[in-house]
Structure 1
Amino acid sequence: MTSPEISFGSSRSSISDLSDISGSNNDFVNVDKNMEFIWWIANRLTSYDEEMHKEILDDFFTDDAKYIHPALTVEGKFNIRKVFRVWTSLNKDEPEVTNIVFDGNTAVISVLQNLRPRLFPLIHMQVPATTTLLFRESPIGPMIYSHQDSWTLEGIVQSVPLLGWWYDHVVRNVLGSLMTSAGGFLHTANQTTGYLQFRADEVTQFSNAIIEKSSSDIQTRSREMTAKAQFLVETAKGSVEKRVATAREEVERMRRMMRPRSPLLPFIGAATPPPALEAPAPTKAITAGSEQ
């Protein structure tokens, strides 16, 4: 089935060709054709030509597409078109597309917004911005379902003439000096911390070595003192035993000396026994019968 051919301003393309572009991009083929297509979309999307903008919305935006801006969010192609009308009625100059990055599903477009109010046309500021387009597949080809505009604070500040000069030449230089000073301080602090940590490790190792050596010396001295104490105990024990034996002998000798003396004591231990005492002769009793 052949897709209907659609006209976009001075150019003509077809939805089938757009589908082929998406498919070829996914296969990393025809990159130049893809970039030509996305540049074509971006230039018409940022154009202040209402008819051209309307054709892009009708042909490449989904019905529920969202437009997200730093100041607002709207949903639907018709609401996006209304926002476009308000913006073009307030601002005079069109934005400029400076760069595009496209991977087949997401397009990041760098835009330079030319702010020139219609009420004050002498005022002109250029603010860098970023437009992000998100694509998704549909039966007729890839369609845009999200359009996001991002304005950076830096770009807004730089767009103001005096404020931009002051920001570039004063604020940035002062902040740069502060950051470099802080970085130098942190570097010095890190070096000092590292050195202190290194010295602390050395002290810890030295302390551990001293503790180990002291423990070894204490154990050696303890063994030596234990052996010496055992020797002294054994020596004292032998001396005490000798003294106890001597004391016992002395006590025994004193006991012998303190025993009472007997008449036979001088003969105790003599070479010859003492002479035996003669017993008295029995007397004869004289009785009357004997006389007779």
Structure 2
Amino acid sequence: MGSSDRSYESSSRSSISGLSNISSNNHDVVTDKNMEFIWWIANRLTSYDEEMHKEILDDFFTDDARYVHPALTVEGKYNIRKVFRVWTSLNKDEPEVTNIVFDGHTAIISLTQNLRPRVFPLMHLQVPATTTLLFCDSPKGLMIYSHQDSWSLEGIVQSMPLLGWWYDNVARNVLGSVLTSAGGFLHTANQTTGYLQFRAEEVQKISTEIIEKSSAEIQQRSKEMTVRAHIIVDQAKDTVEKRVATAREEVIRMRQLMRPQLNTKAITSGETKA
């Protein structure tokens, strides 16, 4: 269904009650009639006919509906209508709806924005854009509480003749080469880092084993030296004890040898006095 649907004479909810009566009871089943309803709303919503746009706002938008654009955000049907007036006064051509996806709650509308400023009518840019309509249930049926327009930077750049060619054939290729080189460098750096880390872990493991082995050897040598020291001390102790015993024996023997001489001296001294 294309832009010809904008030729409907009335957009009042009563005139399309068969299309707009979509409630939460049948959200899971999106019928052809539901899709016809969404296409009908999308084409009239993107129309530059102010009466059509006003009737869509009055009949299918909540009072506190929110409009989000890459350059601005407004709330309320009245403010949305004022933004529409400013936009249509600056741009000459209506957008073209190319595709719609609807799940009963959300409608994603793919369209092409025809940018032709009224002050520069020879300038014409076609920018891919996306409009997202969020619906809620109400006693009247489905109502739109959020209208979001999204323009991609890529689409804007590609829509410009010289800049688009430069972007596609120069900027993208150069950036691709730069990122490829950077990716190769990072890959090599990661591999080198991984290898160095692996080697560091090996060195640490070997060092730990050497330290543990050295510690075991040192402990063993320490034990051996301690045992030898004990043996030497015991031997020295035995030697000292033997020498002390020998000295004692010599002292006793000397005392025994000296006793007769003392007795002889005592007798001699007695006779002399007599």
Superposition TM-score tier, normalisation by shorter sequence: 0.7 to 0.9
Structure 1: runs of 5 or more not aligned: 1-5, 266-292
Q: How many residues align?
A: 256
Larger relative contact order, structure 1 or 2 (CA cutoff 8 Å, min sep 6) = 2
- Contact residue 21 and residue 33 of structure 1 kept, 8 A: no
* Percent pairwise identity: 75
Residues 51-90 of structure 1 mapped to structure 2, 5 A cutoff? 51-90=51-90
- Report the residue type matching 1:203 in the other structure: V
For normalisation by structure 1, the TM-score amounts to: 0.78
Give every structure 1 segment of 4 or more consecutive aligned residues whose post-TM-superposition deviation is greater than 4 Å: 261-265
- 1:8 is matched with 11
Choose from 17, 20, 28 the match for 1:18: 20
- 2:250 is matched with 250
Q: Secondary structure at the match of 1:163?
A: helix
Q: Distance in 1 between matches of 2:112 and 2:204?
A: 62
Max Rg structure: 1
Q: Distance in 2 between matches of 1:74 and 1:209?
A: 71
Change (3 A) 1:233 1:78: closer
Residues 254-269 of structure 1 mapped to structure 2, 5 A cutoff? 254-259=254-259, 260=261, 262-263=263-264
Residues 23-172 of structure 1 mapped to structure 2, 5 A cutoff? 23-25=25-27, 28-172=28-172
Q: Secondary structure at the match of 2:20?
A: helix
Change (3 A) 1:91 1:65: same
Q: Distance in 1 between matches of 2:19 and 2:167?
A: 48
- Contact residue 46 and residue 94 of structure 1 kept, 8 A: yes
What CA deviation, in whole Å up to 9, does each residue of 1:157-196 have, x standing for no partner? 2222111211222222222222222222211111111111
For normalisation by structure 2, the TM-score amounts to: 0.82
What CA deviation, in whole Å up to 9, does each residue of 1:208-240 have, x standing for no partner? 111221122122222222222212222221121
Whose helix fraction is larger, Structure 1's or Structure 2's?
Answer: 2
Q: Distance in 2 between matches of 1:62 and 1:130?
A: 21
